[in-house]
Structure 1
Amino acid sequence: MHFSELPLDKSILKAIKETGYDAPTPIQEKCIPLVLENKDIIASAQTGTGKTAAFALPIIEKLIWHQNSKKKGKKIRALIVSPTRELAVQIQDDFKTYAKYTNLRTTVVFGGTSIEPQKDVLKKGVDVLIATPGRLLDLRKQDILSLSHIQTLVLDEADLMLDMGFYDDVNKIVKVCPKNRQVLLFSATMPKKVLQLANVILNNPEKVEVAANSSAAKNVNQLLYYVPRKKKLELCLHLLRNTVKGSILIFRRTKFGVDKLESSLKKNGYNVTSLHGDKSQSARQEALNKFKNNDVNILIATDVAARGIDINSLDAVINFDLPNIPETYVHRIGRTGRAGESGNAYSFCGADEMNYIKTIQQLIQKKIELVEDHPYPMDKNTKAINHKGSGSKSTNTKPGKKKGRKSANSKKNKKRWY
């Protein structure tokens, strides 16, 4: 199919042509007609499938007849809620690209920066708003914006949104939108909590799935290394010296782990930067720009910080820490081997992660190739550590205080980074 076969305005087709795309991706081909028919949608789509255009193009088409409204008379008619600032900015860039030859106004709002400039833009009137949940609700609480004219509500990266604790915020946002609004829910994975949310907020939705969640990237060579946890750094340095070259994305589970690895690699002379939620917005953008512009060739990140970021021409992914959610593994390795190019994924597995490998291999329905010939092998008699009953809860509890329960002051002082 060619884009010209879709019922899109000439101004949109002109903008698409300038991007160099001729044919819609599978997610676009399936979603665009459904959005134009005002259907609610629940779509399973990973980053890199073209899902932003799958909702941006039909939303722009539906709003074109509002484009000549006086600026101050413009109402927010499309709302896209995104879990992270980086993803929100990326969505805003896509909307500006596709609405280039229209008079539609779009803007993006997120926390971590001054609220005043965002207020000024909103007061001038916009058609499309892209927002992170916290800042959106803050602005609404201050009566800076109204959601009473929303025609289409998009929840992007819904699984990540809920993992980050936004379930209540999302429900609040949905409740203040008109009852007859259209809802489009996009999620890389479909855990129970996403399906539960969908059951509550979607009306007779169309289900769209462009690829099975278990399908690992076909062009990615997957390799597995069993290694004692204390030897992971040495193994990483060994691979960087001898095997892994080019543009590399390294995943760690925690912010502390990201900082620690960045420091170690810098001491060993590597050009490296990092991305995680405790960094300021400007620092995160600077890190991303350095990596995209090849000023550094190694980016270390947590899953939350890296989610939704579009990075092209990635040569390799290193899973320094394995994810406890198997779908996250598929999402990570899908960052490389794109657009017909080949890529490599190297996974380090300690004794405490052996059960994770089992569930990952069950999901992708294949055994990951094991590399035994390396300098830091794990003892073959090592048994998997059972995580049942363990977790990140603190064991240093005072008498009378429940384990893992945060104090009221701790909750009060908790910083929001979104």
Structure 2
Amino acid sequence: MTFEKLGLPEPLLCALRDKGYETPSPIQAKAIPIVMQGRDLMAAAQTGTGKTAGFTLPVIADLIDGSKPRPRHPRALVLTPTRELAAQIQANVEAYAKYTRVRSHVVFGGVKINPQIARLAKGVDILIATPGRLLDLHGQGAVSFDELEALVLDEADRMLDMGFIHDIRRIAKLLPEDRQTLMFSATFSKEIRSLAKDFLHDPASVEVSPPNSTAERVDQWVYPVDKKRKSALLINLVNSNGWDQVLVFTRTKHGANRLSQQLEKAGITSAAIHGNKSQNARTRALEGFKAGKVQALVATDIAARGLDISQLPQVVNFDLPNVPEDYVHRIGRTGRAGAAGQAHSLVSADEADMLAGIERLIRKTLERTEIEGFEPDHAVPEGKAQPQRSGNGQRSGGGQRNGSGQRRGGSGRGGNGRRGNNNRSASGNGHRGASANGNRRGNDGGDADGNRASPGRSKEGRAGHQKNDGNGNRRSGKRNSDSRNVGNGASNQRSGGERRAGGRRRRSGSGNRAATN
């Protein structure tokens, strides 16, 4: 399969050749023909599979022969949960559309709004936006959706987790019913499938990996350790293994700052990114990390969305995420597009329930490996795999695989290296678990722009109201009771095979690699 056979127009093929792409990834091969037919689409693909090109290429192709956009009237809208992801998509659109007259622009919070208003006044074909800033712009009359032809919801599961559902529903009510809607996500929970029923009309559904599965080429380890010794263990792992580029996840913004400072004191160059950091600070940190000037990038889940780092070798879960699906997103940062990667989780006894939830979700028991000198006083309950000790911070036995494909500790200290069942357990109090519906936000406490969520607010990332469920857990506020099915007007819907006016040019070209953006 080649991009030429997908029917993409010559200007896009030229841009793909410039990037050295010829063979589409599985999600691109499945999604692009469906989108070019004009059908609604519900697609599940992990980060790093090339899903961004799976919707940007056909959307650009559909707009190539259209008329020049009117001021403040975009023809396609891409909604994303974070600034980083929005900027990444904008960069991809610009690269693919460089031989066309299709113009795009990106808008998000945390920066001045007036330059965005001025740019929209010149007219754009494709608008990439975060929900809160888009509502602000609409409220000021800076953007109209009367001529919108396509809506893309990227990272739909993340937007739901972050509480953007109310903003998304408000935006959808402003859009024409006769539009094409595409929903892309790494995972599709029951809540996401329910949301799709409200937004999509008779959608095609494609998946390139089992729902909620972890990347096939990512090796995963769990290191039991007492919470107070996590920082020391991380420093030991970085130094003993010679890691020169590692992405570290924490649950909170303050935790990210504190850990970054501890790493710096240990001689490991580090930077933290989270919602309280300015856009410029986050950009500098990411650029330093990509350039090799920053050895460890410490991030919260929200801030890490949209990070595009090729060949990232190591991901560390310093804290396990409250929402099990976030584990899939986190380790999807490594092992991208077929490359091998490693994910390491430092797990204390009070995170046992979180670990169990992750293992249920991915349908795999993650083997526990104790590092010599960091054996926990409070044991992490064992899964099917038995924990084994290793010396000098290395995984014993060379990290050989067992019959199930999981890593096993190897010889190490043999039977004497295993911890008995008489270890004390931590009480487990003090941490907050995910709510029953899995839609609560993490303890980062803010949205993509560092704002505290509140109901009905249109500021960037002002997500759903947080309430206690009676068990000490935080949960998202109730969904909007509005059950209106947006885009389901039968008389105005485009049929599955109907194409828009303007047509598409289909020519041939050549190249070398699969698009991964």
Taking the TM superposition and a 5 Å limit, the aligned residue runs for 1:375-386 are: 375-379=373-377, 380=379, 381-383=423-425, 385=427
Give RMSD over aligned pairs: 2.4
The TM-score with structure 2 as length reference comes to 0.73
Taking the TM superposition and a 5 Å limit, the aligned residue runs for 1:355-374 are: 355-374=353-372
Q: Secondary structure at the match of 1:284?
A: helix
- 1:302 matched to which residue of 2? 300
Confirm whether residue 323 of structure 1 aligns to residue 365 of structure 2. no
Q: Secondary structure at the match of 1:372?
A: strand
- 1:170 matched to which residue of 2? 168
Give 1:387 deviation, angstroms. 6.7
- 1:209 matched to which residue of 2? 207
Match 2:276 to one of 271, 275, 278: 278
Q: Which has the higher helix share?
A: 1
In 1, Cα distance between the equivalents of 2:432 and 2:358?
A: 20
- 1:133 matched to which residue of 2? 131
- 2:7 matched to which residue of 1? 7
- 2:267 matched to which residue of 1? 269
Give 1:143 deviation, angstroms. 0.8
- 2:243 matched to which residue of 1? 245
In 2, Cα distance between the equivalents of 1:185 and 1:137?
A: 20
Cα displacement string for residues 222-275 of structure 1 (whole angstroms, at most 9, x for unaligned residues): 111111111111111111221251210000011111011011111111111111
Give 1:342 deviation, angstroms. 2.8
Give 1:140 deviation, angstroms. 0.6
Closer, same or farther: CA 258–416 of 1 in aligned 2, 3 Å? farther
- 1:192 matched to which residue of 2? 190
- 1:22 matched to which residue of 2? 22
Cα displacement string for residues 306-362 of structure 1 (whole angstroms, at most 9, x for unaligned residues): 112111121211110012322322222222233444322111111111122222223
Closer, same or farther: CA 214–163 of 1 in aligned 2, 3 Å? closer
Closer, same or farther: CA 28–410 of 1 in aligned 2, 3 Å? closer
CA contact (8 A) 1:43 1:186 kept: yes
The residue type paired with residue 311 of structure 1 is I
CA contact (8 A) 2:314 2:334 kept: yes
Closer, same or farther: CA 388–249 of 1 in aligned 2, 3 Å? closer
Q: Secondary structure at the match of 1:328?
A: helix
- 1:33 matched to which residue of 2? 33
The residue type paired with residue 135 of structure 1 is R
Q: Secondary structure at the match of 1:12?
A: helix
CA contact (8 A) 2:43 2:207 kept: yes
Q: Secondary structure at the match of 2:354?
A: helix
Taking the TM superposition and a 5 Å limit, the aligned residue runs for 1:82-121 are: 82-121=80-119
Taking the TM superposition and a 5 Å limit, the aligned residue runs for 1:372-411 are: 372-379=370-377, 380=379, 381-383=423-425, 385=427
CA contact (8 A) 1:74 1:125 kept: yes
- 1:53 matched to which residue of 2? 53
The residue type paired with residue 128 of structure 1 is I
The TM-score with structure 1 as length reference comes to 0.90
Confirm whether residue 145 of structure 1 aligns to residue 143 of structure 2. yes
Give 1:149 deviation, angstroms. 0.9
Cα displacement string for residues 176-197 of structure 1 (whole angstroms, at most 9, x for unaligned residues): 1001111111111223332222
CA contact (8 A) 1:246 1:315 kept: no
In 2, Cα distance between the equivalents of 1:355 and 1:259?
A: 26
Give 1:375 deviation, angstroms. 1.3
In 2, Cα distance between the equivalents of 1:214 and 1:91?
A: 23
Give 1:81 deviation, angstroms. 0.6
The residue type paired with residue 50 of structure 2 is G
Once structures 1 and 2 are overlaid, which stretch shifts more, 381-390 or 133-142?
381-390
How many aligned positions are there? 401
- 1:63 matched to which residue of 2? 63
Q: Secondary structure at the match of 2:128?
A: strand
Q: Secondary structure at the match of 2:188?
A: coil
- 2:234 matched to which residue of 1? 236
In 1, Cα distance between the equivalents of 2:305 and 2:426?
A: 29
The residue type paired with residue 29 of structure 1 is A
In 2, Cα distance between the equivalents of 1:378 and 1:276?
A: 29
Closer, same or farther: CA 36–284 of 1 in aligned 2, 3 Å? same
The residue type paired with residue 2 of structure 1 is T
Q: Secondary structure at the match of 2:151?
A: strand
Cα displacement string for residues 126-167 of structure 1 (whole angstroms, at most 9, x for unaligned residues): 111011111111111111110111110001111111222211
In 2, Cα distance between the equivalents of 1:417 and 1:142?
A: 15
Once structures 1 and 2 are overlaid, which stretch shifts more, 48-57 or 376-385?
376-385
- 2:334 matched to which residue of 1? 336
Q: Identity over the aligned pairs, expressed in percent?
A: 47
CA contact (8 A) 1:353 1:385 kept: no
The residue type paired with residue 49 of structure 2 is T
Give 1:2 deviation, angstroms. 0.5
The residue type paired with residue 15 of structure 2 is A
The residue type paired with residue 41 of structure 1 is L
In 1, Cα distance between the equivalents of 2:355 and 2:434?
A: 20
The residue type paired with residue 210 of structure 2 is A
CA contact (8 A) 2:223 2:371 kept: no
Higher RCO structure, 1 or 2 (CA under 8 Å, sep 6+): 2
Gaps of 5+ in 1: 394-403
The residue type paired with residue 180 of structure 1 is D
4+ runs deviating over 3 angstroms: 71-75, 338-341, 382-393, 409-412, 414-418
Give 1:6 deviation, angstroms. 1.0
CA contact (8 A) 1:47 1:310 kept: no
Give 1:198 deviation, angstroms. 1.1
